[in-house]
Amino acid sequence: MTLFDKIKEITELQAGSGFEAPVRNYLKEKMLKLGYTPEFDGLGSIFVVKESKTPNAPRVMIAAHMDEVGFMVSSIKPDGTFRVVTLGGWNPLVVSAQRFTLFTQKGNKIPVVTGGLPPHLLRGTGATPSIPAISDIIFDAGFTDKAEAENYGIAIGDVIIPETETILTANGKNVMSKAWDNRYGCLMVLELLEFLQDKELPVTLIIGANVQEEVGLRGAKVSTTKFNPDLFFAVDCSPASDTFGDDNGKLGAGVTMRYYDPGHIMLPGMKQFLIETAKENNIKTQAYMAKGGTDAGAAHLSNEGIPSTTIGVCARYIHSHQTISSLDDFVQAQNFIRAIATSLNAEKVADIKNY
């Protein structure tokens, strides 16, 4: 499969916070085919432990997250439409007039659209269109009334996930898809596991993906407790702002060196290690000052404190149906995470932890 084929396959999967099974099952199948034995924690995160033969080897966790942003049904109206609560962060401006899939509790898939108010209905009213609250946006599956919706198995608590087709841009350099946050990370950890299949390393690697990152970095708190790593590397996607007149996060500019976000500051030892490793391996990087967080924000506060960072890329218009991401950024990040995984040893881990 080409890189694009792999991206298409994994981004078109639909799995939101608390409903990660489609991606978890996909990862499990791939891990088993590679000869690994996946392990799970109590919330459903999935990891492979690649044990080092070196005595007292440091433990290093490399973690994506499986969930994409979505919604949950909070009410069913008499006319058969739904209202929702968010699972993750949404800008109301990108929600209306889009396709979704509703997953019933029995696993049935129901096509849904979000209703956009036609301009015809505004004529003569004197009303000015305004930004709706998420709770007011209409989710419509075309049912006649509430009874028909319930007859099809719709219930409060059902999950609604964006549905789109993943395609290449005309120049072949970029991908248009949903959920690059964070199917980027999920594909990255699978590719890393394949790369490391026959390699013996002086560190024990714990590689996989967490649940429920989009609703408060919840999975990382549990998985770091279970696996007790010395270092933690989140593998995650952040918003590019280049088309909004900001140079903080540019598509195609390489791996994001996430020095700061509201929940995490990169420690000096980690910063030095990343800069040196990128330089030694000719990795294209860009400084990044984030306004949101990743699982590194939860991991670094776990146990007795775990030095953490994010090996990331940025993409345009994330947390929407149509994200634009760079194929070259993925390759740069892939080369970086390979270099990190194969260069770490007890001495370097000690240096990183020497704050």
Burial (CB count <10 Å: 0-12, 13-18, 19+), residue 279: exposed
Region of residue 153 (phi > 0: left; psi between -120 and 50: alpha; otherwise: beta): left
CB proximity list for 235: less than 8 A, separation 6 or greater: 62, 63, 64, 182, 184, 185, 188, 189, 310, 311, 312, 333, 337
Question: What does DSSP say about strands 204-210 and 59-65: parallel, antiparallel, or unpaired?
Answer: parallel
Burial (CB count <10 Å: 0-12, 13-18, 19+), residue 147: exposed
**Cα separation of the two ends of the chain:** 43
Considering the candidates 20, 163, 213, 214, report the single residue annotated as catalytic. Answer: 213
Element (H, E) at 296: helix 296-299
- pLDDT attached to residue 128: 67
CB proximity list for 126: less than 8 A, separation 6 or greater: none
DSSP strands (E only) in the chain: 39-40, 46-50, 59-65, 70-76, 82-87, 99-103, 109-114, 139-140, 159-162, 167-168, 174-177, 204-210, 231-240, 255-261, 264-265, 285-289, 308-316, 323-326
Residue 56 has a CB neighbour count (10 Å cut-off) of: 7
Distance CA 208, CA 63 (A): 5
Task: Please tell me whether residue 80 adopts helix, strand or coil conformation.
Answer: coil
Structural domains of the chain ordered from first start: 3-68+178-353 (3.40.630.10), 70-162 (2.40.30.40)
**84 near 160, Cβ under 8 Å?**
yes
Indicate if 39 belongs to the active site.
no
Residue 15 has a CB neighbour count (10 Å cut-off) of: 24
Give how far Cα 143 sits from Cα of 79, 134, 151, Å: 8, 21, 10
Report DSSP state, residue 36. Answer: -
- pLDDT attached to residue 131: 79
CA dihedral 343, 347, 353, 355 (to 10 degrees): -110
Cα within 13 Å of Cα(44), Cβ side: 19
- Closest by CA position to 183, among listed 204, 209, 152: 209
Distance CA 343, CA 333 (A): 15
b/e map 335-344, b = 16+ CB within 10 Å: bbbbbbbbbb
Main-chain dihedrals φ then ψ at residue 144, nearest 5 degrees: -70, -40
- pLDDT attached to residue 120: 61
Full pLDDT tens readout for the chain, 355 residues: 999 999 999 999 999 999 999 999 999 999 999 999 999 999 999 999 999 999 999 999 999 999 999 999 999 999 999 999 999 999 999 999 999 999 999 989 999 999 866 666 556 665 666 778 899 999 999 999 999 999 999 999 999 999 999 999 999 999 999 999 999 999 999 999 999 999 999 999 999 999 999 999 999 999 999 999 999 999 999 999 999 998 899 999 999 999 999 999 999 999 999 999 999 999 999 999 999 999 999 999 999 999 999 999 999 999 999 999 999 999 999 999 999 999 999 999 999 998 7
Helix (H), strand (E) counts: the chain: 9, 18
- Closest by CA position to 341, among listed 65, 30, 52, 53: 52
Block residue for tokens 């990891």: 47
